[in-house]
Structure 1
Amino acid sequence: MSWFTRLNTVAGNKPEPSDSERYRGDLPLASSPIEWEVLSQSEEQTRKAAGSDADACPSSDDESLTVIEDEEEMKTQIEALKKQLSAAARDKASLEEKLARAASAATQIEEKSNRAVIRMRAELSDAQRSMSTMEAEITKVRAEAKAATEEAQQAQVRARLEMKGTKLVSEEKTQKLSRVESENQALREEIRVAKGEIERLRALSDGLSGERIRLQESSGVLQEQKGSLEKENSILNDEVHRLTTQNTQVLTILGIRAADDRSPYIRQDLSSEADATKKLAGLNSEIYDAAAYMSDSFTYELQPSKTNEIRDAYERVTKALGSPLVSALTSKRHDEDPLMVQIAFQYTMVECCRRIITSWCFDGSRVEEALPALYDRMRKTEAQAGTVSMNWRALTRTLVRSMLHGQAPDISSRVMPILTDNLVDVLLVAGCQGNRAHIHDLLSNKFSSRISNIITLAIRLNEITGEEITSCDLKVAAYSSGVDFDAKIMEDGYDDGKWHGLAWEQPRVLCTTELGLHKKVPTSSEKAWKKVLVVKPKIVLSSLPSSLRHRDLVIVQCWE
């Protein structure tokens, strides 16, 4: 049975199988012409072998054994053929895969070649267009070159003609150039003169600017002096009124002889306690303003130099202000907050004014010490308290000043240099930049009117308390360093009234910054006086420098 017959059998036509087909069993169908050919050859060999065996050995036991062996061999061959068919199938699949890849690669190569052909055609077209453009440009350049050549030839002809004309006008141009050069020289000279004038005007403008600044500063000083002069004028008017009234009373006392022995010595008050209080408030205000302004107007060094003039100033300030205040003044940094300098200024001016107000004759002689002692003895020994002593005090002060200093004493001019020197000492100890002469000049030029006004107010208070009021005995109050603080008779002027020292320490006074006022008045009983506080003085507690450490002030030890 051929393989085509087996194929027909699979399709549905089933012929009667032969004997060889019965023992051979079912074989797989071929899936390709190559397999068909291999299977056909194998079948043909099988038939030939079977026929030859049948002819040689007709149905005997030996022949059966031979047939069985042939069948085993045929099965082996069939198995080998199956393996060959499987290998051939695999080779076919591999070949088909390679063919597919080759076809895909061929397709890609064809696409690339097509794109390359299209690109080359486009480039060829662009090259052709570029060639056409270049040919057109070459033609244009040739035409332009030809035109330029012709124009150059014409220019040469014109140049030859112009050269001939140039020789004729060269002398005229030379003359024109000479005239232009002369004009340029004249213009340069004018420019030089104008520059000099500009420099002169610029210098003049700078000078005028400086002068304007100086005039503005002078205007401020003049305004300040105007205010001081107005205050002095008011004080002088009060003085004229006082002297007129006092002169009238003196003439009355000298011309009247009454039966009462005491009547010639009794006089009326020319000023009141309210006048004294008002003047004292004005003086304290002037001292505070001047101290604050002066302390902020100078520059202070962090580490002052230790020159001889600073050492001398240190000794003088220690005697005048006391060691505690000087220690606080030298241990603080004043460039950020000159509070301690302001306090030292206030205390210096307060002490100077206190001495002026309590002075009897302004000369510092023994008379200055003897007259107050004599006055105290009179108050203690007179029959009726204050009847004669206070009138004697008023007349004595007036007459002594007149005898020692004349009718119009210029006490301010003698006191002002002393106070200025004391303020300069404070600045030197505080570390102010500059030497003594430089600081003295700055202080005198800028603050002389303020200092003079303070001295004038102090002198006026001397007259009010010593000469014009005889109904009571008025005295200014101030406290020095180390005195125990008493809120009943003094006021803390620079803090909250709290003691910042140790809890077991007694609060003490560092210095006085504003003068107070108290009075003694005679009582109804003989030889008895009553002391009354009119204005509390303002002081600074000795713990204030310690509290300043809590205000971020850096301590710098500037004196050993």
Structure 2
Amino acid sequence: MSLFTHDTTVPSYVYLSMVGMVGLGLASVFGGVQFWKRRSRTEGTLKEIGRRADEVSSLKKTLKDLQDVLKSREEEMLLLRQQAERMKKEMLELERQFDSSRIRNQSLGDRVRALEMEKQKVHDEKERIDLESAQIRQLLDCRTAELKGAEAFLTKADSLSGAEVISLVEALNSEILQTAAFMAESFQFEEKNSITSNLGEMSKDTKEAYAAAEEILGTRMVELLRLSEHHEDPMLVQIAFQASIAAYAHWIIASWYFEDPEDEHLLSEIYARVRESEEQAISGRWRALTRIHLQRMLAHEPDLSIYMVDAFVHVLITAGLRDSAAVLHERIMSEFLDRILLILRAAVRLNKIIGEGITSCDLEVFYVAPDILFNPPTMDDAYGSPAASEYEAVLCTTDLGLVRAERRPGKDAEWNESVLLKPKVVLPSGLQDVDNVDVGQDSESFA
């Protein structure tokens, strides 16, 4: 359909004119439209160009930023490459060091293993040496013990000389004399009568005292004590005290371990056999060691004073003192114990010196029992009576003596014996001048 309608009646010029005008108008309109379109397109293009310029500017900025970032990244990459290179070098160095350390460790491991083997060898050698040392020490200890035993049995060194032992015995005798004299003078005796002299009428305790006194002093000395007067001169009581102390001191010095002589008899028998079969050095050391160990076995130190005090009580009752045994015992313990202990300590010391300290010979305290015949070469008369005779029997011993005996070398048991100190004994003839003592009452008993 055409844009314009026309009537067929219109003249052609008019039509043509109108067509021209319309064509001109259409052209103008079309040109205007085209202009505006072009302008519009231009503006759009300009806007697009501006927009694109902005985009380009933004892209340039972005590109610059990216270039800056890229540059920074490149710098970082360079640093990283440098760092990587450095780390690579360090790694190579570490690998080299690791290889070197591994080789060194391997070498050290070999060295350690070698040292361990060497250590084991040293340990084994040490154990072997320790074992040998222990065996050597054991053998040495054994040999040392054997040597000590041999030295103990073979040594001849004495702790004191014979002269020193004599001095100790003399000192003991002096103390015995002083104590006996002091005690005898300390008691007051009453004058006796015919009743007290009748043994059949005496009490049981008195008879028991007589019997106990006889075991030490002998029958004749007890009879003299019982029948003689002591109220004016207690000399006979003093002699009885001396004899009692000497008897107990002799027992203490000779004792193995301060027990009853019957209990010690077996040891004495054994020692006698040892003396007969062994050399002096061996028998002497046997005696010394036996005494040492026997006395160490004692649970407690024995009270030796009780025996001596009992002997004094028996002497006093036999001599006619009428106090009871308990009263006399208490008085003696309270008044004379210090002196008694002094004597006992001296006797015990001699026991150790003679029994343990002297081995080159045998020293024995010489005590003469009652009723033994007087022998002038080995005994001294305590009172030096001119009438002393070897046919007289000893009443008692007041002073201890000392005898030395040594076995001669050789198979046969032969002995060298000598009296170093004579014991002093009381003879009936020595009492002739003592007041109130009648030794002639029983002449047969004193013959």
Q: Does the TM-score normalized on the shorter chain lie above 0.5?
A: yes
Pair 1:371 & 2:257 matched: no
Aligned partners of 2:237 and 2:362: how far apart in 1?
34
1:317 paired residue number: 213
Identity of matched residues, %: 33
2:418 aligns with: 532
Matched, 1:485 2:374: yes
Q: Answer yes or no: is 1:386 the counterpart of 2:269.
A: no
In 1, distance between residues paired with 2:331 and 2:383?
Answer: 28
Answering whether residue 344 of structure 2 is matched by residue 455 of structure 1, we say: yes
Contact 1:256 1:264 in 2 (8 A): no
Q: Distance in 2 between matches of 1:303 and 1:487?
A: 36
Q: Secondary structure in 2 aligned to 1:387? A: helix
CA displacement at 1:269 relative to structure 2 = 1.8
- Say whether the 8 Å CA contact 1:333–1:554 is kept in structure 2: no
SS at match of 2:374: coil
**Higher RCO, 1 or 2 (CA under 8 Å, sep at least 6)?**
2
**Unmatched 5+ residue regions in structure 2?**
1-139, 197-201, 442-447
- Whether 1:444 and 2:333 are equivalent positions in the alignment is yes
Structure 1 residues 302, 265: closer, same or farther in 2, change over 3 A?
A: same
2:187 corresponds to which of 277, 298, 305: 298
Please give the alpha-carbon distance, in whole angstroms, between the structure 1 residues aligned to 2:367 and 2:355.
17
TM-score by length of 2: 0.60
Letter in 2 for 1:485: F
Tell me: CA distance 1:254–1:314, structure 2 relative to 1, closer, same or farther (3 Å).
Answer: farther
318, 323, 331: which one aligns with 1:429? 318
CA contact 1:522–1:530 (8 Å) conserved in 2 = yes
Give the alignment partner of residue 250 of structure 2, picking from 350, 354, 368: 354
In terms of fraction of residues, the more helix-rich structure is: 1
Deviation per CA, 1:470-492, whole angstroms, max 9, x where unpaired?
A: 11100011112222211110001
- In structure 1, C-alpha distance between the alignment counterparts of 2:362 and 2:437, rounded to whole Å: 45
Q: Does the Cα contact within 8 Å between 1:328 and 1:545 map onto a contact in 2?
A: no
Query: How far did residue 547 of structure 1 move?
Result: 4.2
Structure 2 SS opposite 1:508: coil
Rounded to whole Å, the distance in 1 between the matches of 2:384 and 2:152 is 51
CA distance in 2, matches of 1:320, 1:259: 45
Indicate the SS of the match to 1:518. Answer: strand
Letter in 1 for 2:419: L
Distance 1:337 1:528, change over 3 A: same
* Structural mapping, 1:244-259, within 5 Å: 256=144
Q: Secondary structure at the match of 2:230?
A: coil
Corresponding position of 1:217 = none
- Kept in 1, the 8 Å contact 2:381–2:430? The answer is no
C-alpha RMSD of the superposition: 2.7
In structure 2, C-alpha distance between the alignment counterparts of 1:525 and 1:253, rounded to whole Å: 32
1:466 to 355, 366, 370: 355
Amino acid at match of 1:289: Q
d(CA) in 1 for partners of 2:214, 2:150: 49
Structure 1 CA distance for aligned equivalents of residues 330 and 244 of structure 2: 19
Q: Residue 495 of structure 1: CA displacement? A: 3.8
The TM-score normalised by the length of structure 1 is 0.49
- Say if 1:516 and 1:538, in contact at 8 Å, map to a contact too: yes
Moved more, 268-277 or 340-349: 268-277
- SS of corresponding position for 2:281: coil
Q: CA offset at residue 371 of structure 1?
A: 1.3
When residues 253 and 465 of structure 1 are mapped into structure 2, their CA distance, relative to the original with a 3 A threshold, is: farther
Alignment of 1:339-350 (within 5 A): 339-350=235-246
Tell me if structure 2 keeps the 8 A contact 1:284–1:515.
yes
Determine if contact 1:473/1:520 at 8 Å carries over to the other structure: yes
CA gap 1:523/1:365 in 2 versus in 1, 3 angstroms: closer
Q: Please give the alpha-carbon distance, in whole angstroms, between the structure 2 residues aligned to 1:372 and 1:319.
A: 21
Query: What is the letter of the counterpart of residue 220 of structure 2?
Result: P
Rounded to whole Å, the distance in 2 between the matches of 1:533 and 1:253 is 43
Matched, 1:520 2:405: yes
Query: Is 1:396 matched with 2:290?
Result: yes
AA of the residue aligned to 1:459: V
1:485/1:269 Cα in 2 relative to 1: closer, same or farther (>3 Å)? Answer: same
> Secondary structure, in 3 states, of the residue corresponding to 1:509?
coil
CA contact (8 A) 2:229 2:436 kept: no
1:381 positional shift: 1.4
Contact persistence 1:492–1:540 (CA under 8 A):
yes
Note the residue ranges of structure 1 that are not aligned, 5 or more in a row: 1-251
> Do residues 281 (structure 1) and 170 (structure 2) align?
yes
The change in CA–CA distance for 1:311 and 1:534 in structure 2 (over 3 A counts) is: same
Q: Does 1:416 align with 2:301?
A: no
Query: Which amino acid in structure 2 is aligned with residue 279 of structure 1?
Result: L
Select 2:387's aligned residue among 491, 498, 515: 498
Pairs aligned (count): 292
Counterpart CA distance in 2 for 1:498 and 1:253 is 66
Which of 316, 333, 337 aligns to 2:233? It is: 337
